[in-house]
Amino acid sequence: MIESLLVANRGEIACRVFATARRMGIATVAVYSEADANANHVRMADSAWLIGPAAARESYLSAERILDAARASGAQAIHPGYGFLSENAEFAEAVVAAGLIWVGPPPAAIRAMGRKDAAKILMAQAGVPVTPGYLGEVQDEAALADEAARIGYPVLIKAVAGGGGKGMRRVDAASDFAAALASARREAASAFGDERVLLETYVARPRHIEVQVFADAHGNAVHLFERDCSLQRRHQKVIEESPAPGLDEATRTAVCEAAVRAARAVDYVGAGTVEFIADASEGLRADRIWFMEMNTRLQVEHPVTEAITGLDLVEWQLRVASGEPLPLAQESITRRGHAVEARLYAENPATGFLPSVGRFDHLLLPDTVRVDSGVSEGGEVTSFYDPMIAKLIAHAATREAALAELADACAGVECWPVRTNAGFLTRLLEHPDFIAGQVDTGFIEARLEALTTPAPPSDAALAAAGGAAASLEARNADPASPWIALSGFRTNAEPQAEIRLFHAGAAVVAPLNETAAPRSVLAAGDSAVVVFEGGEALVFAATSPAWDVAEVVGGDGRLTAPLPGKVVAVSAAPGQSLKRGETVLVLEAMKMEHALTAPFDGVLESISVKAGDQVTEGAVLANLAPRA
């Protein structure tokens, strides 16, 4: 058995791996960048080693620095987590060449599945059904446009080296193809160092079904059932669950057996996920489910599988990497109940899900469900890494019970001043169509306005805000003033019964009711309070709507950088007429592209940046004027 383990990653997944390693009596080694010096994973490990500056390319993506840390620490093995170098065959080879144990699949298997086009050809040869499309080597724009026309719109552009939705674009018409191709190539080159793409027919009502597989070096390969990851936004998974709603046993068996064939075709060893796209327009059928890609690593959503099987997948990884056979044969792997996971992100649905960076002055995560997290109160979300705060996982006897339990947990999240998607997740988990199992990858987009619009504050929230605001006003007043204790002073006056506040840009009247049900409330500066309800941080200001979230997105016509990043495209020019929602420029930050759009119909007065410019948070990038 491995005796000491370095995790070449950070945050939640590093903490997750350390927890299992500690339970197994394995010494743990963390690596960290300068931005992560005080991070949870650093404190959790037995030892920790600085590997470079904040930028990932100079730290977590530096194979040389990670190997140096492994040698210096005396680590026996390296676990890559997910992301960063986890699917880099050259890194895996370097680990083995250094005489260390690689907790992952063989480099040859990573390489075989790393290019989506080559992987699909290999899968077809192994009898695994693949999605129709274009997998050729010709990559010039005209040839790809011709292939898209042959396939028929809508088509899907996908990075051949990619994953996680990066470098993926849906194109509905030939006139949109060139712009979508350019954007997909930019994102693919940035994320994977490879701008090549493939094309697929776009499935009208797609479901994303994936199968957890495991194999060892003794010729054994098994599946641990499927997960449904259909609830996505911009091709990024939001909710994952198992079993997949509406999947009958015959179809389940066919898909899971195809996944095992896929693993065997590349002599796989370790944990992997075989992903399928399903055409759900006529329900889930085995003849309408196709191989999409294989992720040669542990997935973010692996706790869902752990919940329904009662197994520790990290322990399985460590045992297989140590040369042991799989702990269980296929017939001994069973499932029970239903599990569902929600990804809690530092992002603001009110501003188009732009990442929210900053310090967690207040962070309360639920204790009613499993929580996998790499941050805590006092920690920080920076612009350098993925903005995930935590994964919340519920497990119950039925799907309905699991969804309700997770919805309650998301509703109980409290975070300030960093914004989160907890309210959005709550509304999503409580949506009647989702509860009914009517899911596909377009579910969120089709209901986006309702899912991103918080309900009005409840009476209890208003009462809590009123009481807190009145107390704050009293604390900030001149203590020597004779008017402090006087409420609307006049002879025989009744005590003040309400207070006027501003919320979401509008005036509200909050009662001063001392018997109101308690709510968690924070002071936000000298003139505002925050009340937590339904996963939302509701801000009430005493004097003006200055805290209105919408103003961050340019209500006055200014488009400002929501976080530090690089301008990768400018789509409009001064003097150009724009409609609300049209893209002005594209900013790359936190490994994602973010389109900054016109906040209203108008004319672009000025733009102060060009493609390639680095910008700081809050910098004014463009100005839009209303049409005359």
pLDDT in tens, 166-200: 899 999 999 999 999 999 999 998 888 889 999 98
Instruction: Specify whether 415 is located in the same domain as 514.
Output: no
CB atoms within 10 A of CB 206: 20
* Interatomic CA distance for residues 228 and 232, integer angstroms: 11
Is 122 contained in some domain? no
170 and 249 fall within a common domain? no
Inside any domain, residue 109: no
Strand partners, 585: 570, 596
Please check whether residues 182 and 227 belong to one and the same domain: no
Based on the fold, state whether residues 353 and 443 are members of the same structural domain. yes
Residues designated catalytic = 297
Number of domains making up the chain? 5
Residue 443, domain CATH:
3.30.470.20
Q: Are residues 284 and 399 in the same domain?
A: yes
Instruction: Indicate the residue type of 450.
Output: A
Asked if residue 317 lies in contact with residue 302, where contact means CB atoms within 8 angstroms, the answer is no
How far does Cα 563 stand from its chain's mean position?
A: 17
Does residue 111 belong to any structural domain of this protein? no
Please tell me the distance from the alpha carbon of residue 426 to that of residue 423, in angstroms, as a whole number: 5
Which domain, by its residues, includes 144? Answer: 132-201
Q: Is residue 115 situated within a structural domain? A: no
Q: 114 in a domain, yes or no?
A: no
148, 170 Cβ separation under 8 angstroms: no
Q: Locate 223 and state its tokens.
A: 């599946």
Domain closes at, from 549, 573, 591: 549
Please tell me the predicted confidence (pLDDT) of residue 496: 66
Position 39 in a domain: yes
Q: Rounded to 5 degrees, what are φ and ψ at 401?
A: -70, -40
3-class secondary structure, 149: helix
Q: Using CA atoms, how far apart are residues 161 and 164, in angstroms rounded to an integer? A: 11
| Distance separating alpha carbons of residues 12 and 15, to the nearest angstrom | 5
Q: Which two tokens stand for residue 190?
A: 């940035």
The answer as to whether 113 is a domain residue is no
Residue 339 sits in the same domain as residue 268 = yes
Strands (E) located in 15-106? 27-33, 47-52, 77-79, 101-102
User: Is residue 63 within 8 Å of residue 40, measured between CB atoms?
Assistant: no
509 and 463 in a single domain? The answer is yes
Q: Is there a cis peptide before residue 154, judged by omega within 30 degrees of 0?
A: yes
340 and 288 belong to one structural domain: yes
Would you say how long the chain is, in residues?
628
If asked whether residues 440 and 469 sit together in one domain, one would say no
The CATH number linked to 148 is 3.30.1490.20
Residues 587, 615: contact at Cβ < 8 Å?
yes
Which residues of the chain, if any, have pLDDT below 50? 481-491, 493, 545-554
Work out the burial of residue 483: count CB atoms within 10 Å of its CB; fewer than 13 is exposed, 13-18 middle, 19 or more buried. exposed
Question: How do residues 106-122 score in pLDDT, each as one tens digit?
Answer: 999 999 998 777 888 89
Q: Which residues contact 47 (CB under 8 A, 6 or more apart)?
A: 27, 28, 29, 30, 73
Specify the 3-state DSSP secondary structure of 601.
coil
Task: Give the closest residue to 568 by CA, choosing from 157, 189, 54, 169.
Answer: 189
Assign 3-state DSSP to the chain and report helix, strand, coil percentages, each to 5: 30, 30, 40
CATH number of the domain that residue 62 is part of: 3.40.50.20
Q: Is residue 112 part of a domain?
A: no
Residues 331 and 192 in one domain: no
Burial (CB count within 10 angstroms: exposed 0-12, middle 13-18, buried 19+), residue 34:
middle
Residues 167 and 267 in one domain: no
- What pLDDT was estimated at residue 481? 42
Integer angstrom CA distances of residue 529 from 73, 226, 467, 515, 540: 47, 44, 10, 19, 5
Please indicate, yes or no, whether residues 601 and 532 belong to a single structural domain of this protein: no
